[in-house]
Amino acid sequence: MGWKGFARAMNRAAVRHQRELQKQQKLIAKMQEAEKAAYEVQVYENHIDLLLSVHKECGETFDWAKIEHSEPATKPDQLHKHEDAAKFTLSSLKLGLSDKLLGRGNAKKKQLLDAIEDAKKLDEKEYNDALISYKKEFDDWQTAKELSTKILAGDKTAYIEAIKKVDPFSDINGLGSSFSITVNNEKMLTAILHVNGENVIPNEVKTLTKSGKVSIKPMPKNRFYEIYQDYVCGCTLRVARELFALLPADTVFVNATGSLLNKQTGNIEETPFLSVAIPRKTFDRLNFENLDPSDSLGNFVHNMNFKKGKGFGQVEILDSSTFTNA
C-alpha cells in the first residue's frame, strides 16, 4: 500500500471514528433528554406530594411557662488563652550555640514578642464577637420572656405578636394560600384560610414513558377535585396544628374561603366553603402520618359542601359563640 492508499485508509478510519462519535453524541443527548424528562416528572410528583402532605409538618411546640422561668445565657468572660500560649512559648525559648554566635537571639525574641501582641488582638476580637452573640441571645431571651408573660396572662396582642414573629405558615403561603388570625379570647382562635383558587392544583398529569419521555395528559376532574379537597383540608389541619403548637388555645376555628361563582349575581366572589371547629383534646389524638385529610374532618363539627365532579360550594360559617366549651 502506497502512502496515498495509507492516507485513504486513515481517512476512512477517521470517518468511522467520526460516525462512532456522532452515535455516542446522540446517545448522550438521549440520555440528557431522559434525565431532563425524569427530573420534570419528579418535580411534578413532588409538587403533588407537597399538596397532599401539608398537614404532616409542624413547627416547634412552645412551652411558654418554661420560657417565662428560663434563665439568660451567661455573659462571656474575657479570656487570654492566645496571649497566655504566646507568653509560654516565649518563656520556653532556648537559644542554641549557633543562635548566640550568629546573634539571632534578639530577632527570635522580637518575633515572639510580636506574636504576643497579635495574640492579644485575637483574644480581644474573640471576646468582642462573643459579646455581640451574647447580646443578641440576651435580647432574644428577654423578648421571649416578656412575650411569654403576656401570653400566659391571655393578652390577645401578644398572641398576634407571637404569630408574626414565628411565622408558622410561610411554607403554606408558598403553596398558594394566605391567612388571617383573630383571637376570640385566650382559649379560642379563629383563622381564615384564603385558598388561592383551584389554580394551585395542576390541571394535567405528567408521567414517564418506557422510552424515557414525558407523557402529559389532562387530569380527570374527579382526581383534580380529590386533590383539591385534600389540599384544602390538609391546610386546615396544618393551621390548627401550628396554632396549637404555638399558643395555649383550647379551640381553633378554621374558615376556608376561595373564589366561587355566586349564582345569584353571576359574579366570582370570595366565598366560605369550609368551616370547622377543632378542639385540642380531639385534635391531639390524630395520627397525621396515616389519616386522610378530608375524612379526618369527620372528627369535628364542620360545614363543607363538596362534590367530586364540581368541587366546593358555599357554606355557612360556624358561630364560634356557640362553642364556648368546645
- Tell whether 173 and 322 lie within a shared domain: yes
Can you tell me the distance from the alpha carbon of 91 to that of 126, in angstroms, rounded to the nearest whole number?
A: 24
Q: What CA–CA distance (Å, rounded) separates 48 from 39?
A: 14
Which regions of the chain are under pLDDT 70? 1-22, 24-25, 27-31, 90, 93-108, 174-176, 197-198, 261-266, 324-326
In what side-by-side order are the strands of the sheet with 188-195?
A: 177-185, 188-195, 251-262, 267-279, 301-307, 311-313
204 and 294: one domain? yes
Please state the domain count of the chain: 3
In this predicted structure, what is the pLDDT of residue 90? Answer: 66
180/102 same-domain check:
no
Residue 160 lies in a domain: no
Does residue 163 belong to any structural domain of this protein?
Answer: no
φ/ψ of residue 107, rounded to 5: -65, -40
> Do residue 247 and residue 305 come from a single domain?
yes
Residue 194 lies in a domain: yes
pLDDT of residue 274: 95
Residue 293, class by beta-carbon neighbours within 10 Å (0-12 exposed, 13-18 middle, 19+ buried)? Answer: buried
Environment class of residue 244 by beta-carbon count within 10 Å: exposed (0-12), middle (13-18) or buried (19+)?
A: buried
For position 302, what pLDDT does the model report? 96
Residues 174 and 144 in one domain: no
State how far the Cα of 237 lies from the Cα of 282, in Å rounded to an integer: 12
Q: Is there a domain that residue 281 lies in?
A: yes
pLDDT, residue 1, reads 42
Q: Do 115 and 244 fall within a single domain?
A: no
Domain boundary (149, 180, 206) is at 149
Domain that holds residue 249: 169-326
**In terms of domains, do 24 and 117 share one?**
no
Query: Is residue 202 a part of any domain in this protein?
Result: yes
C-beta neighbour count of 54 within 10 angstroms: 24
> Are residue 207 and residue 299 in the same domain, yes or no?
yes
CB 275 within 8 A of CB 190: no
**All cell numbers assigned to 196:** 388561592
CA 86/CA 111 separation, integer angstroms: 11
Instruction: Give the pLDDT of residue 270.
Output: 78
Same domain, 254 and 315: yes
Sign of the alpha-carbon torsion through 264, 267, 271, 273: positive
- Tell me whether residue 203 is in a domain: yes
Cell of 234: 390538609
Residues 191, 317: Cα–Cα separation, whole Å: 12
161 domain-assigned? no
Same domain, 142 and 176: no
Does residue 114 sit in the same domain as residue 246? no
Q: Would residue 52 count as lying in a domain? A: no
Both 91 and 3 in a single domain?
Answer: no
Contacts 24+ apart (CB under 8 A), 291-300: 291/55, 292/230, 293/52, 293/55, 293/229, 293/230, 293/231, 293/233, 293/234, 293/236, 293/237, 294/229, 294/230, 294/233, 296/233, 296/237, 297/233, 297/236, 300/276
